[in-house]
Chains A and B, each alone.
Chain A
Amino acid sequence: MNVTLDYGVLAPVLIPALGAVLVLLVDAVLPRLGRWHWAIAAVLLIAGAAACVPAFLSGSDARRTLCLDATQCLYVADRPGSALQTATLVSAAVVALLVLPVRSPADRTPIASALVLTAASGGAGVAAARDLGSWLVLIELATIPTVALVAFRARRSAVDGALSLLTTSLVSFAVLALGAALWFAATGSALLDGDAVLAAAADPQAKRVLVLAVVLIVAGLGFKLSLVPFHAWTPEAYAGASVPIGAFLAVTSKFAALAALLVVLRGVTVLGAPALQAIAVVAAVSMTLGNVMALRESSALRLLAWSTVAQAGWVILPLATVARGAVRAATGYLLVYGLATIVAFAVVTLVAHAEGRGRVVGLSSYAGLFRRRPLAAVTLAVALLTLAGLPPSVVGLVAKVLALRPVAADGLWWLAIVAAVNAMLGLAVYLRWMLAMAGTPAPDTVDDRPHRLHLALVVLGLLALGVTSVAPQLLLGLAG
């Protein structure tokens, strides 16, 4: 059996993975490098992202390698997959840059940056994995480091959050493993491609097992996407972790999770199956619960967590249908969500770094941000409006259109109406935060200058939101 191997195609996965080793090696050689590990990590992650660029240049052809024969490849990076790979790596790089200025014990820096690299590598890989084995390995590679990253803050709340994350992730992994086993049992193949699925679908008994497998896999991934009811860890982990790691959980992890989900669903859609009602229900419940809980949340980080839950519902909204372009729609929405969320986290990091973490947790402590830090406040407002999907942030609106399009096209009216109601609730959530920013500031304002790198990232984020608002296709076009 010959297996082809193309390092160029594998580079997005290999560079961060090897980069993790490199960071640890560098630490062994130069123990006092400190925060520069993060710079190395960021550079490596960007390099990995750069390796994805050919996927967007070469046209529509999926990039494949590790092929068993002409049709069966274990690594296929198609357009949405490449987009998610790039997004995973870039967002991880941004997280690395956000962490960079933060003071932390020197011995932890290399480990933490290695963990980020590892998780990013897993996230990048899972998007292209086409067999159960590597899929399982890579998805856990993307998950397990996050537990450690959350726990690193070493506060009691962080440990609690990590424990919550850990237990949920373990159980989810167990569910995933069961799902994978059932998949294997149904199809007799460890490949996640359409042929095996078609073969299994022919046999009604095998089909039933296959459906159960798919559903278990969706449930297992629901944890990673923070879908209700697999979401309970989200607020705890966000509130416990340091702010940039929160961004990692909210953005990078989500990219990886959706990539993993798409790999499975892509195989299943060849069935031309009716809409996945389970996904529709989960999406509806996620949106609603996320928004309702966010509405009564008084902590900004928890609010972001609940917002993630609600947005996750929006992300999988198109996947409840069999309409063309559902995959692209979900990917596109997630890209916009990721951009907006990471910009929001960047602003929160900036404020937290300049004024202390205590000033970013409570919503009320944002009072007067518009006067205190107009740039940061405007950026945050635009990011929040992107999440709410309202102009001036056109890109958020376009994302909403993108997500609703397959649903409306498929005639899932009840789901569309639930989504519309949630668009309203979501707006209420984000407006609450914006209102808090508009209030009069508390008198004891600590007004340190923000770190330049943070400021640069925030400006960059605002620019990115602005540019994509004028030309949303720049971002959405990545997904094909």
Chain B
Amino acid sequence: MVAVLLCAIVVPVVTGALLITGDRFSPAVGALTSWVVAVLGSVVTAACVVLAVWRRPELDHEWVPAIGMRLHLAVDGISAPLLLLTAALGVLVVLHARVEPPTRTGHGTYLGCLLLVTGGAIATFLARDAILFFLAFEIVLVPMWLLIKGFGDPKHRASASAKFVLYTVLGSTLMLVGILGTVYLAGTADIDGLVGGAGLSTTQQTVLAAILLIGLGIKVPLWPLHSWLPAAHTAAPTGGSVLLAGVLLKMGTYGIARLVVPVLPAGVERLAPVVGVLAAVGILWGGLVCLVERSLKRLIAWSSVAHMGFVVLGLMSGTRLGLQAALFGNIAHGIVSALLFFVVGGLKQRWGGDDLAVARASLRDTAPRLGFALVVGMAALLGLPGLAGFWGELLAVASVWNPDGSRPVLLFRVLALAAALGTVLAAGYALRVLRVVWAEGSPAEQAAAPGTPEAAQAPRPAPRPVDADGYEWAVVGVLVLGAVALGVLPTVLLDSTEPAVLHLLEVAAR
């Protein structure tokens, strides 16, 4: 069973590397072959992940004693949902690549990068050694950079990719500093062994927590460290956006939930008000920007800033409820943002741009399936019950209203109010999008659409059907189902994370 753990990481990484290598030959390996290999790779990976989640094996092996890094992989209730999400999104983005191939040659590289990102994320969620966690954290960087740089929107990709990779590497190196400090002072790199402060003084914990939170905050992203995110999303190809929003951002909050909250409780206690305020500002900031943002893809990216604010708020409340809320919010946002980016990515390619100010035929008439998916996504975004987004936000607000006794209650109540206002803003921008894209317009304008200057100058690689069908509809449909399932039966996820959360906080409190 232990082999499953290794396979879950090695299979996507090796398949990805092979695909990239295949592209280097001349003539390059065919697009279809690459795709089939990638699908196989991602499916095997997903199977491994499912097995690992089911059987919960553990691997603990010496790897690099020089830096005290062990090859320690395991699954628990906190990482299991994220692992499943990652594996599922890994399969979906690869499937979707058939519908929306990269705009230039290099299928193998594109698919390989997707797999590498998936593999890196899986490694991150599996890692139980703090330094190994950092290593896995870094694996996704270069492939993601390549995705944006090589396959992104030609207009923005140069600066966006640079911003992404440099910002993130700064964050992760800061995180490394924090991890190393913690590991050295605690005397162990084992994540479970670190839980509970490991005898660090409050000052030490505060400094370390600050460094870690800044580092991870860039990844999350926490306001005001967010400015790489909208740019990266605007430029990234659809698959890249999906992985970025659905997986990469989660690594930041997962890191906070794993390495900061339980490990440095005293430090978090001191910093919680500051971080909480930043998160709340992020919620409002993101929501407000979304109200006036004209690029649809950017708008979704901004909404991520706002939604990750809820997750961070939950984490900062210091209660079990808050942690549960954050973990739920993480998964929910993963599904919803992935869904939205698939839809919006498809729309952007069909429209040849994603400016909301351009008049187009209403989606509900021209492309009812895409329209339906967009409606579900937007409804989930504004936290509609019955869809995934609701529970995370509700629980986050509840946890922030009554934070842990060590937090300033009044301030946190104000934050809860701000978060509640954030849901109103979310409704504002989600419905704004629906009003413009889904409901407005008349079929007569459709004929004029291809002739608009925006459409003329954008590259149009292959004509796509007006509405989603085939793989695209399957991919989108699976995510819609996921969003509904999680919204109707939140207990499935909450039950799976609860024991781990209780265990974590119990050990931390000891």
A–B contact with Cβ pairs below 8 Å: the answer is yes
- Contacts A332-B66, A397-B135, A413-B207; A392 near B180 (Cβ below 8 A): no
Q: A residues within 8 A CB of B181?
A: 408-409, 411, 416
A477 at the interface (CB under 8 A from B): yes
Bound-state CA distance A419–B169 (Å) is: 12
A473 & B142 in contact (Cβ 8 Å cutoff): no
A130 at the interface (CB under 8 A from B): no
A181 shortest CB reach to chain B, Å: 37
A420 & B120 in contact (Cβ 8 Å cutoff): no
Partner of A390, one of B64, B138, B149: B138
B166 at the interface (CB under 8 A from A): yes
**B171-215 near A? 1/0 per residue, CB < 8 Å:** 001101111110011000000000000000000100100010001
B138 & A370 in contact (Cβ 8 Å cutoff): no
Bound-state CA distance A397–B173 (Å) is: 10
A472 & B66 in contact (Cβ 8 Å cutoff): yes
A229 at the interface (CB under 8 A from B): no
Q: A residues within 8 A CB of B167?
A: 424
Interface size class of A (residues with CB under 8 A): 35 or more
B165 & A416 in contact (Cβ 8 Å cutoff): no
Within 8 A of A (CB), among B477-506: none
A398 & B173 in contact (Cβ 8 Å cutoff): no
- Contacts A390-B138, A394-B135; A427 near B169 (Cβ below 8 A): yes
Partner of A398, one of B69, B142, B174: B69
Residue of B nearest to A323 (CB): B184
B398 at the interface (CB under 8 A from A): no
A402 & B66 in contact (Cβ 8 Å cutoff): yes
Which residue of B26, B69, B176 has the most chain A CB atoms within 10 A of its CB atom? B176
Partner of A417, one of B64, B67, B135, B177: B177
B47 at the interface (CB under 8 A from A): no
B139 at the interface (CB under 8 A from A): yes
A405 & B169 in contact (Cβ 8 Å cutoff): no
Q: B residues within 8 A CB of A473?
A: 63-66
B162 shortest CB reach to chain A, Å: 7
Partner of A476, one of B67, B131, B142, B169: B67
Q: A residues within 8 A CB of B288?
A: none
Within 8 A of A (CB), among B83-127: 116, 120
B71 shortest CB reach to chain A, Å: 11
A420 & B174 in contact (Cβ 8 Å cutoff): yes
Bound-state CA distance A370–B21 (Å) is: 11
Which residue of A328, A391, A404 has the most chain B CB atoms within 10 A of its CB atom? A391
A400 at the interface (CB under 8 A from B): yes
B170 & A423 in contact (Cβ 8 Å cutoff): yes
Interface size class of B (residues with CB under 8 A): 35 or more
B457 shortest CB reach to chain A, Å: 21
A401 at the interface (CB under 8 A from B): yes
A428 & B142 in contact (Cβ 8 Å cutoff): no
Within 8 A of B (CB), among A352-403: 370-371, 374, 378, 385, 390-392, 394, 397-398, 400-402
A421 at the interface (CB under 8 A from B): yes
B135 & A400 in contact (Cβ 8 Å cutoff): no
B429 at the interface (CB under 8 A from A): no
B177 & A472 in contact (Cβ 8 Å cutoff): no
B67 & A405 in contact (Cβ 8 Å cutoff): yes
Q: A residues within 8 A CB of B184?
A: 323, 405, 408-409
Bound-state CA distance A427–B166 (Å) is: 7
A479 at the interface (CB under 8 A from B): yes
B52 shortest CB reach to chain A, Å: 21
A431 at the interface (CB under 8 A from B): yes
- Contacts A390-B141, A409-B185, A419-B173; A398 near B64 (Cβ below 8 A): yes
Within 8 A of B (CB), among A409-442: 409, 411, 413, 416-417, 419-421, 423-424, 427-428, 431, 435, 438
B268 shortest CB reach to chain A, Å: 18
B409 at the interface (CB under 8 A from A): no
Within 8 A of B (CB), among A22-46: none
- Contacts A405-B184, A419-B173, A424-B169; A328 near B142 (Cβ below 8 A): no
> Interface majority SS on B: helix, strand, loop or mixed?
helix
B134 at the interface (CB under 8 A from A): yes
Q: B residues within 8 A CB of A407?
A: 177, 180
Bound-state CA distance A304–B263 (Å) is: 41
Q: A residues within 8 A CB of B169?
A: 390, 423-424, 427
B166 & A424 in contact (Cβ 8 Å cutoff): yes
Partner of B24, one of A370, A398, A435, A476: A370
B305 shortest CB reach to chain A, Å: 21
> Interface majority SS on A: helix, strand, loop or mixed?
helix
Bound-state CA distance A160–B181 (Å) is: 45
A237 shortest CB reach to chain B, Å: 30
Which residue of B149, B167, B215 has the most chain A CB atoms within 10 A of its CB atom? B149
**A449-480 near B? 1/0 per residue, CB < 8 Å:** 00000000000000000000001110011010
B200 shortest CB reach to chain A, Å: 11
Bound-state CA distance A212–B465 (Å) is: 77
Q: B residues within 8 A CB of A394?
A: 135
Residue of B nearest to A413 (CB): B207
A378 & B173 in contact (Cβ 8 Å cutoff): no
Q: A residues within 8 A CB of B211?
A: 413, 416-417
Bound-state CA distance A435–B161 (Å) is: 11
Bound-state CA distance A411–B185 (Å) is: 10
Partner of B177, one of A328, A402, A420, A435: A420
Bound-state CA distance A479–B67 (Å) is: 12
Within 8 A of A (CB), among B287-324: none
Bound-state CA distance A421–B171 (Å) is: 9
Q: B residues within 8 A CB of A416?
A: 177, 181, 211
B173 & A424 in contact (Cβ 8 Å cutoff): yes
Q: A residues within 8 A CB of B24?
A: 370, 374, 378
Q: A residues within 8 A CB of B174?
A: 417, 420
Q: B residues within 8 A CB of A401?
A: 67, 69, 131, 134-135, 176, 180
B130 shortest CB reach to chain A, Å: 10
Which residue of B67, B176, B211 has the most chain A CB atoms within 10 A of its CB atom? B67
A393 shortest CB reach to chain B, Å: 9
Q: B residues within 8 A CB of A419?
A: 173, 177
Bound-state CA distance A397–B142 (Å) is: 13
B17 at the interface (CB under 8 A from A): yes
B149 shortest CB reach to chain A, Å: 8
- Contacts A392-B142, A397-B138, A401-B131; A424 near B170 (Cβ below 8 A): yes
Bound-state CA distance A473–B69 (Å) is: 10
A409 & B135 in contact (Cβ 8 Å cutoff): no
Q: B residues within 8 A CB of A409?
A: 180-181, 184-185
Bound-state CA distance A400–B64 (Å) is: 13
B87 shortest CB reach to chain A, Å: 20
Bound-state CA distance A409–B173 (Å) is: 15
B137 shortest CB reach to chain A, Å: 9
Residue of B nearest to A371 (CB): B26
Q: B residues within 8 A CB of A408?
A: 176-181, 184
B67 & A391 in contact (Cβ 8 Å cutoff): no
A428 & B63 in contact (Cβ 8 Å cutoff): no
A333 shortest CB reach to chain B, Å: 10
Q: B residues within 8 A CB of A411?
A: 181, 204, 207
B165 & A427 in contact (Cβ 8 Å cutoff): yes
Bound-state CA distance A79–B204 (Å) is: 33
Bound-state CA distance A391–B13 (Å) is: 11
| CB-defined A-B contacts under 8 Å, sample of 30 | A328-B66, A332-B66, A374-B25, A378-B24, A390-B169, A391-B120, A391-B138, A391-B139, A391-B141, A398-B64, A398-B69, A398-B135, A401-B69, A401-B176, A405-B184, A407-B180, A409-B181, A411-B181, A411-B207, A416-B177, A419-B173, A420-B174, A420-B176, A421-B170, A431-B162, A431-B165, A435-B149, A438-B150, A472-B66, A477-B65
Q: Which 6 A-B pairs have the closest CB atoms?
A: A409-B184, A408-B180, A476-B66, A420-B173, A408-B181, A374-B24
Given contacts A392-B142, A401-B135, A479-B66, 15 further A-B contacts (CB under 8 A): A390-B169, A391-B141, A392-B17, A392-B139, A394-B135, A402-B66, A405-B68, A408-B180, A409-B185, A420-B170, A427-B165, A428-B166, A431-B165, A471-B63, A473-B66
